[in-house]
Amino acid sequence: MKNLDEVIEIIIKNSHRNYLIIREKKYYDFEELLSFQRDLQDSQKTLQGFKIKFIDYLSMRRALIVLLQEKYYAYKSYDEVQIELSQLENNAKSRFIIRNRDMRNFKTPQDIHPKDPCLHYEDYIDKKKHYKTALEILTRLNLLDTTDLKAHKHFKSILDDISNC
């Protein structure tokens, strides 16, 4: 639970993301919070009990890239581990709001989030561009689980590699 000032500060820092502000089962927009803050400006009182729920809209592919990166970044190849794409898709649906569910061109983890993207997209410039755009969006949104910093560093190194090949 956060107080009013903390919530406003978090929202300003994350203005590029969609969010819900909740207090005592009621939803507020940002303008209402600013109004509360102005009303309480000269008071010693602060409003407590706010929660922020960020809403992340992604395509199924981008959601699966996030999950594959978090769980399997340390593997050299996806062949080293058994991956159930249907289970990953269910995890993506429960964690993100999926807007584009089209997976016709993405049948395997290697198609979704290749281990060596420069080699994988060597002859497919348009596909490489789409993949790079997906990585840039995901990097900007910072959706990876924050507990594993190695996954973040690895993700950024993939973006650097795909940008330079």
pLDDT by residue (tens digit) across 30-43? 888 888 888 888 77
- What tokens appear for 98 in the block? 């999926």
C-alpha span between 63 and 44 (Å, rounded): 44
pLDDT computed for residue 147 by the predictor = 63
Of 146, 142, 148, which is closest to residue 159 (Cα–Cα)? Answer: 142
Cβ(62)–Cβ(95) below 8 Å = no
**Tokens representing residue 28 in the block:** 């507020």
What's the CA angle centered on 122, arms 152 and 106, to 5 degrees?
A: 65
Total residues belonging to the chain:
165
Does this model's pTM top 0.85? My answer is no
pLDDT tier, 64 (very low <50, low <70, confident <90, very high otherwise): very high
